[in-house]
Structure 1
Amino acid sequence: MSLGADHFHALYATDPDPWGFRTRWYEQRKYAATLAALTRPRYRRAFEPGCSVGVLTAALAARCDEVVAWDVDPTARAAAAAECPPHVRVAAGAVPGQWPEGEFDLLVVSEVAYYLDRDDLDALIDRAVGCLADDGDLVLAHWRHRTPDCPLTGDDVHAAFTGRTGLHGQVSHVEPDFRLDVLSKRVESVAAREGLC
């Protein structure tokens, strides 16, 4: 069973930044790696489900014309809205049952998909692939250790996404603690797009 909104409401009720996104070097370093892995300098429209307090969201906003950021918890959404510039639209939403309209050339699924069960993960993958622009990037970043309240591990999530037909790996970075993958519908690399090879 996927974890519902009540799980996250309880976390934010006891700590406004329950994972230390603002304070932990681990998180700061992971966000820097995520931004460095993006294959384009700028994106038209990004979607980040599970944006939490908006630390990564604000960093993504510097590279995007528009960002749609969702979270199920109102405390998290308020913090994210305060953190982000006006071209970021922070709203309530829970994937995969809900999904924003339109096409995105950047999807960032960071530390959220292992809260889903297998059926919901499959639905998330279908929705993500369905709204990803042909020139877009799908970014995955997840904790690799087993967490008792999560139905899946980060490795489970990444294996499901990377095994999907029609998505091609652009970046893969694996550490003992987290895994980062960038997938796209296109085959050519950054160097190939710039005519270097």
Structure 2
Amino acid sequence: MSPARLPNSYFEQMYAASADPWEFTTRWYEKRKRALTLAALPRPRYRSAFEPGCGIGVLTVELAGRCDRILATDIVDDALRRAADRLAGAAATVDLRRWGLGDDWPAEHFDLIVLSEVCYYLEAPALRTVVDELLDHLESDGVVLCVHWRHPVPEYPLTGDEVHAILGGHRGLSTVGSYRDDDFLLEVFTPARSPRHSVAQQEGLV
């Protein structure tokens, strides 16, 4: 366990108290946010996606319709077991592993990395290190999708706004799309070194 993030016991207690502690499956807020998350992806399909903090796999199931392969991780065994049940028969090949941001990165590369409601569990220096490592594992044509709750949570080391300020201020990333409302921030990044191509450009419209 890294001291630079919330302890694993925090999440284990959440899942011990409820099979769906953040009510991903029942709240319209969560369903709407997932729809906006999927709509923000600038390409219709991805080769290899990485989703840290997948929880019970609700977003993972929807990403499976857009990806050939997904590596989805969490630090709570109960969450991973529930995700495995949910993902049985998924459209993509899904590899579920016990892993958390701040651990050593998998020796793999991805053209999609989804950071959904996970980065504010880290202290700011640890998150900056994560972004450095992320860029080492992101393909040159890759996309990073980042979405976070904006309201303060006393236990969390960072707010959603602070998370997005760190990612948006990193010289290795360029922002190519965003959505903001009172409740959450959603941003899409690509490697700063890569040419930028809008969706209209990809479709030959401009």
The TM-score, its normalising length taken from structure 2, stands at: 0.92
Select between 125-134 and 35-44 the one with higher mean Cα deviation. Answer: 125-134
Residue equivalent to 1:195: 204
1:194 Cα offset (Å) = 2.6
C-alpha distance after superposition, 1:52-104 (max 9, x if no partner) = 00000010011000000000001100111111126111110111223222110
1:190 and 1:124 map into 2 onto residues whose CA distance is: 28
How far apart, in 2, do the equivalents of 1:59 and 1:160 lie? 27
Alpha-carbon distance, 1:195 to partner: 2.6
Name the residue aligned to 1:62: 65
Check the 8 A contact 1:96/1:120 in 2, yes or no.
yes
Cα deviation per residue 1:107-162 (whole Å; 9 max; x = unaligned)?
A: 00000000100121011111111111111110000000000000100110111101
SS of residue paired to 1:192? helix
- Aligned match of 1:120 in 114, 126, 147? 126
Determine which of 88, 93, 115 is the counterpart of 1:87: 93
Matching residue within 157, 162, 165 for 1:156: 162
Quick check: 1:21 aligned with 2:24?
Answer: yes
| Aligned 1:67-82 pairs, distance under 5 A | 67-82=70-85
Deviation at 1:167, TM superposition (A): 1.5
Superposition pairs of residues 96-135 of structure 1, within 5 angstroms: 96-135=102-141
User: How far, CA to CA, are the matches of 1:64 and 1:15 in structure 2?
Assistant: 29
For the residues of structure 2 that align with 1:98 and 1:78, how far apart are their CA atoms? 22
Question: 1:67 is paired with a residue of what secondary structure?
Answer: strand
Kindly indicate whether the alpha-carbon contact (under 8 Å) linking 1:44 and 1:104 is maintained by their aligned counterparts in 2: yes
Count of paired positions: 197
Matches of 1:80 and 1:163, distance apart in 2: 33
* Regions of 4+ moved over 3 Å: none
- SS in structure 1 of the partner of residue 68 of structure 2: strand
Inter-partner Cα distance in structure 2 for 1:6 and 1:82: 23
Contact 1:143–1:177 (CA under 8 A) maintained in structure 2:
yes
Letter in 1 for 2:117: E
**Identical aligned residues as a percent:** 46
Q: CA deviation at 1:166?
A: 2.9
CA RMSD of aligned residues (A): 1.1
Deviation at 1:188, TM superposition (A): 2.2
Counterpart in the other structure of 1:142? 148
Q: Flag the 1:74–1:65 CA change in 2: closer, same or farther, 3 A.
A: same
